[in-house]
Amino acid sequence: MTQFVKAVLFDLDGTLIDTAADFVRIIGKMSLENDWQAPPEAEIREQVSAGASAMVQLMLRHNNQLEVSEEALLEFRQQFLDDYEADICVDSCVFQALEAVLTELEAKGVPWGIVTNKPRYLAEKLLNEMQLDQRCAVLVCPDDVSRTKPDPEPMYMALEKLGIPRGAAGCVLYVGDHIRDIEAGNAAGMPTILAAYGYIPPEDQKSLKKWGADYITDTPEQLNKLLLSSGKFEYL
């Protein structure tokens, strides 16, 4: 059965944009400055969706820094965010197969947007440096809402900004790589697609089918095929 689609929404890190390389670079820099060993790249990638604190804590655990005070932890986190803001887009890029998706949606006149838990000042700067800011029809960040994902409030705000009534949420796809993305999309009544190629820790890999996504894609190429050539969606 064909699903009619009026818009497509994406999570940001690990779903639309591969930002992990820049986080790996920053954790490497911070480790070097403290005469520590940087954690393996794969382990850093797995923590990206959990945020700055999780990546900093991984660095500390990897170097047996287990007695760090809350104040010191906050200082490390702020240093991480400051370093990231200063050089936010050295190695980050749109997942290759997804640039074609954005281009095709734009050619069809179908708006696409981003609903992320990334702070707005960082999300805006990243989109600006990647020249996506003028292409993205809507950006919803934690700063914009009182309740973040997995609550559906950010999804409802995206619908409002797109001029789509909540009753038509079934015509808006949401793609994400975290259980909170799927829960938020489902709660809002949107068809959900799990980007299983994203930043998902090994312990979660075995339970992905239980997250409740309508579709699961293991690679950006699979997501491209699902959205553009599977025949499952008709764009309005």
**CATH (domain of 150):** 3.40.50.1000
Compute the distance between CA of residue 75 and CA of residue 97 in angstroms, rounded to an integer.
Answer: 37
Kindly report, residue by residue over 143-200, the tens digit of the pLDDT: 999 999 999 999 999 999 999 999 999 999 999 999 999 999 999 999 999 999 999 9
Active site residue 143: no
Average pLDDT over residues 66-70: 93
Same domain assignment for residues 146 and 222 = yes
Same domain assignment for residues 220 and 151 = yes
Active site residue 13: yes
Range of the domain at 182: 3-19+92-235
pTM as predicted: 0.95
Compute the distance between CA of residue 33 and CA of residue 35 in angstroms, rounded to an integer.
Answer: 6
Cα dist. 68→21, 33, 35, 123, 157 in Å?
A: 26, 17, 16, 29, 39
Compute the distance between CA of residue 200 and CA of residue 212 in angstroms, rounded to an integer.
Answer: 16
DSSP secondary structure, 4-18, as one string? EESEEEE-TBTTTEE
Same domain assignment for residues 13 and 43 = no
DSSP secondary structure, 48-84, as one string? GGG-HHHHHHHHHHHTT-----HHHHHHHHHHHHHHH
| Residue 141: alpha-carbon gap to chain centroid | 11
Same domain assignment for residues 81 and 152 = no
The catalytically annotated residue of 13, 18, 83, 177 is 13
Specify the pLDDT at position 27: 98
Compute the distance between CA of residue 177 and CA of residue 193 in angstroms, rounded to an integer.
Answer: 8
Specify the pLDDT at position 50: 86
Q: What percentage of the chain carries pLDDT values higher than 70?
A: 100
The catalytically annotated residue of 11, 18, 22, 177 is 11
Last residue of a domain, one of 86, 112, 129: 86
Compute the distance between CA of residue 196 and CA of residue 56 in angstroms, rounded to an integer.
Answer: 24
Specify the pLDDT at position 1: 81
Cα dist. 69→9, 66, 76, 165 in Å?
A: 39, 9, 11, 47
Encoded tokens for 163: 């001029």
Mean pLDDT in the chain? 97
Same domain assignment for residues 104 and 165 = yes
Same domain assignment for residues 53 and 78 = yes
**Structure confidence at residue 49 as a pLDDT band (50, 70, 90):** confident
Specify the pLDDT at position 84: 97
**Structure confidence at residue 47 as a pLDDT band (50, 70, 90):** very high
Same domain assignment for residues 98 and 132 = yes
Q: What percentage of the chain carries pLDDT values higher than 90?
A: 97
